[in-house]
Structure 1
Amino acid sequence: MKYNIQIDKRVLDNYFCSDYFDKSQKIAKAINSKAIVTMQWFQRKDNSTVAGLEYIFEILRLSGLSNKLQIEAIEDGEVVNNLEPVLKITGKYKDFVHFEGLFDGILARATTVSTNIRTIKKAANGKAILNMNDRGDYFLNQQLDGYASYVGGVDTLVTPASTEVVAKLVAKPTGTLPHSLIALFDGDLIAALHEYKKQFPNNNLVALVDFNNDVITDSLKVANEFGKELFAVRIDTSVSIVDKSLQTLKEKDKELHGVNPTQVKMLRKALDENGFNHVKIIVSSGFDDKKIKYFEDEKTPVDIYGVGEFILSNKINFTGDLVMVNGIERSKVGRKNSSNNKLKKIIL
């Protein structure tokens, strides 16, 4: 199988099923309902990049319902608009009603991540994105989030869990060193990097250079020490402060606070003038699509954008609706059986 999707088997025991869906299934079984129904799943935003369907297919495989249901779906990674169905399932109500809310949640989480990933990828104009979302939410979400990030177009991930589902398709987790490791070496960035290089000689050497709030000075120190062995420097200046290199400049609206285009341009110029053209610049701290677009509009010489919090913003919710009963349209007022020419028959 292309994806290594691991499902908690308690799903099959309705452990993650809302009480009223669980009871609905029990009622349908108690009356021995043979009704054949169609349910469809949709969301309400335009330009949403759908993800999570492969998880749903795996749950249906594990449930033993493969031969009992007719399934139509689009492919993960397809873009859909408001009210367009992404999944339709036809079969006996009692066989799959308990999955309605569960599938809503899978699609909502994964589609939110993949849509945001595609949004920032577009804003970055083809530059690399480092997905730093591991710190943004509960750790057991990392497998699904990593898969959704891959679907959205970003496969540079930072934890083994986030690469688990797509391990055959992406590189091993990557990252830099944290501020805490520099602090462990009493603020001696050079000493910390020497130990990092000693312990992980095959990894790219990336220096986090804002610990002393003196990005240009520390970047040149590191570059002079390691030369061609230095792959990149990363700037993560807090939005609450101004880097020492900029403190003699005047600002109008805090545009010099935090990581900013002027800071990055000055750093690139300093590196190049000292013969370190090969050193890449990574930026992080509060980057979303708007901030990335601003940096790109300013022609800021960034090589890699590190993004975290934004990846879980702009929540996209899904709704599952029963729309057909025994071949007759039957749904709540305001909903109807809808079509989508991207839907294809799925064989599990």
Structure 2
Amino acid sequence: MGDVVTMGAKFLESEADVKSLRVDPARPLFSAEHDEILAGHTADVYFVKTLQVLRAEGKADVPVVAEIFPRSEGMLAGVEEALRLLQNRPPGLGAIEVWAMDEGEWFSPKEVVMRIAGPYSAFGVYETAILGILAQSSGWATAARRVVEAAGGKPVSSFGARHVHPAVAPVMERAALLAGASGAACILAAKLQGKEPVGTVPHALMLILGDTVSGALAYHHHTAPDSPRIILVDTYKDEAEESLRVAEVLGKALEGVRLDTPGERGGVTPDLVAEVRARLDQAGYRHVKILVSGGLTPERVQQLAAAGADAFGVGSYISSAPPLDMTLDLKMVEGKPVAKRGRIPGIQANPRLRLRIDGRNRVA
């Protein structure tokens, strides 16, 4: 096939290619770059060895059909990124057809979520990347959906970028937005989805300025008029007291207060939310919303929403969601049904699949 280059990186087709690959140990970050992923540099090495053996046997280009299915139920995400990966393969790899369920759909265990047809050499090396994209994104989306449902229609923002590698933070936040999150704090993630990032300030502002009210006034005076006036009120004093102090100085300009009480102080409890809500209402600040963040789970979100919380910032529950295992099996080889032991040979019907890439490598 000769040297195939994609975006500056050589496509790996053999053990010799792998051995000759040189990587700068002093590179700025350890994460894979786009061209490295497209060139197969993040593949499990046995897929490159398989391609080498099949090419030597004259079987690398035999037509096959592969199907991808999950081990458990969940929300499908990562399809669009997997399709972009396949659409940007080196031209010499040959044409394929891809069918897939839509992102945001809930799938059942062992339901086929994607089907790929074409020469094995055209996509086999990408199995690692495709499965990783679908598994991780679907895990994040599933967790985010459970939080969104627990919130009962109240907004949920994804604050999980600090818990994952920065290279995949936009992928995680995209999965959360797909699952119904109203916003994301990560700038690149929000921009990629055509949104503006959400969030106000960390505790650092209050600690440096030395007082919550001073921090609130500085934020109000120095940020854009359309930047939401939501003030963090758990840095120094009692949250209810700080909420009232901030409300007194900002008045109608104050849109909300954020409770992020650490676990060392018991975290944000339903009783705390109820007290802050009652004291704000009694003082005439019914317009002030209560945003809660910090170690939230679906169960806590449901409890806090019932106590009067208006919005939620959720990080670790979404970011720490385990990937939903995905498996790719060959089900047809040269037009004949096949399968490993324990699996049913041949294509498994799923009417929810739709053609996404046609035989000319174009979006269907």
| Same-fold call, TM cutoff 0.5 | yes
Identity of aligned residues (%): 28
Output one character per residue of 1:4-60: Cα deviation in whole Å (capped at 9) or x when no partner.
Answer: xxx8022222111110012112222333323211111111112x1101111111111
Residues in 1 aligned to 2:51 and 2:37: alpha-carbon distance in whole angstroms:
14
Calculate the TM-score normalised by the size of structure 1.
0.88
Question: Given the alignment, which residue of 54, 62, 75 partners 1:28?
Answer: 54
Aligned residue pair count: 320
- 1:295 Cα deviation from its structure 2 partner: 2.9
Question: What corresponds to 1:290 in structure 2?
Answer: 299
Residue 270 of structure 1 aligns with an amino acid whose one-letter code is R
Question: What corresponds to 1:254 in structure 2?
Answer: none
- 1:139 Cα deviation from its structure 2 partner: 0.7
Judge conservation of contact 1:45–1:81 (CA < 8 Å) in 2: yes
Structure 2 unaligned residues grouped into runs of 5+: 1-32, 358-362
Judge conservation of contact 2:213–2:246 (CA < 8 Å) in 1: yes
Judge conservation of contact 1:101–1:320 (CA < 8 Å) in 2: no
Match runs of 1:308-319 below 5 Å: 308-312=315-319, 313-319=321-327
Question: Given the alignment, which residue of 252, 257, 270 partners 1:228?
Answer: 252
Residues in 2 aligned to 1:300 and 1:57: alpha-carbon distance in whole angstroms:
43
Question: Given the alignment, which residue of 201, 204, 209 partners 1:185?
Answer: 209
Residues in 1 aligned to 2:92 and 2:251: alpha-carbon distance in whole angstroms:
59
- 1:164 Cα deviation from its structure 2 partner: 3.5
Q: Is 1:326 aligned with 2:338?
A: no
Residues in 2 aligned to 1:192 and 1:108: alpha-carbon distance in whole angstroms:
42
Q: Is 1:106 aligned with 2:168?
A: no
Judge conservation of contact 1:232–1:280 (CA < 8 Å) in 2: yes
Output one character per residue of 1:143-176: Cα deviation in whole Å (capped at 9) or x when no partner.
Answer: 2112212211114011211123312xx3x11102
Judge conservation of contact 1:131–1:308 (CA < 8 Å) in 2: yes
Question: Given the alignment, which residue of 303, 312, 316 partners 1:305?
Answer: 312
Question: What corresponds to 1:77 in structure 2?
Answer: 104
Residues 66/143 of structure 1: CA separation in 2 closer, same or farther (3 Å cut): farther
Question: Given the alignment, which residue of 352, 359, 364 partners 1:342?
Answer: 352
Question: What corresponds to 2:21 in structure 1?
Answer: none
Output one character per residue of 1:278-336: Cα deviation in whole Å (capped at 9) or x when no partner.
Answer: 1000011111112112334xx21111011000003243111111121112221211123
Match runs of 1:128-277 below 5 Å: 128-167=155-194, 170=195, 172-186=196-210, 188-202=211-225, 203-241=227-265, 257-277=266-286
Residues in 1 aligned to 2:232 and 2:92: alpha-carbon distance in whole angstroms:
51
- 1:66 Cα deviation from its structure 2 partner: 9.5
Judge conservation of contact 2:42–2:128 (CA < 8 Å) in 1: no
Judge conservation of contact 1:237–1:259 (CA < 8 Å) in 2: yes
Residues in 1 aligned to 2:128 and 2:110: alpha-carbon distance in whole angstroms:
17
- 1:234 Cα deviation from its structure 2 partner: 0.5
- 1:275 Cα deviation from its structure 2 partner: 0.7
- 1:216 Cα deviation from its structure 2 partner: 0.7
Residues in 1 aligned to 2:208 and 2:352: alpha-carbon distance in whole angstroms:
54
- 1:269 Cα deviation from its structure 2 partner: 0.6
- 1:196 Cα deviation from its structure 2 partner: 1.5
Residues 193/274 of structure 1: CA separation in 2 closer, same or farther (3 Å cut): same
Residues in 1 aligned to 2:258 and 2:92: alpha-carbon distance in whole angstroms:
50
Residues in 2 aligned to 1:117 and 1:24: alpha-carbon distance in whole angstroms:
37
- SS, match of residue 293 in structure 1: helix
Residues in 2 aligned to 1:112 and 1:235: alpha-carbon distance in whole angstroms:
27
Residues in 2 aligned to 1:346 and 1:127: alpha-carbon distance in whole angstroms:
34
Calculate the TM-score normalised by the size of structure 2.
0.84
Residue 280 of structure 1 aligns with an amino acid whose one-letter code is K
- 1:129 Cα deviation from its structure 2 partner: 0.3
- SS, match of residue 164 in structure 1: helix
Residue 269 of structure 2 aligns with an amino acid whose one-letter code is N
Question: What corresponds to 1:249 in structure 2?
Answer: none
Residue 339 of structure 1 aligns with an amino acid whose one-letter code is A
- 1:197 Cα deviation from its structure 2 partner: 1.8
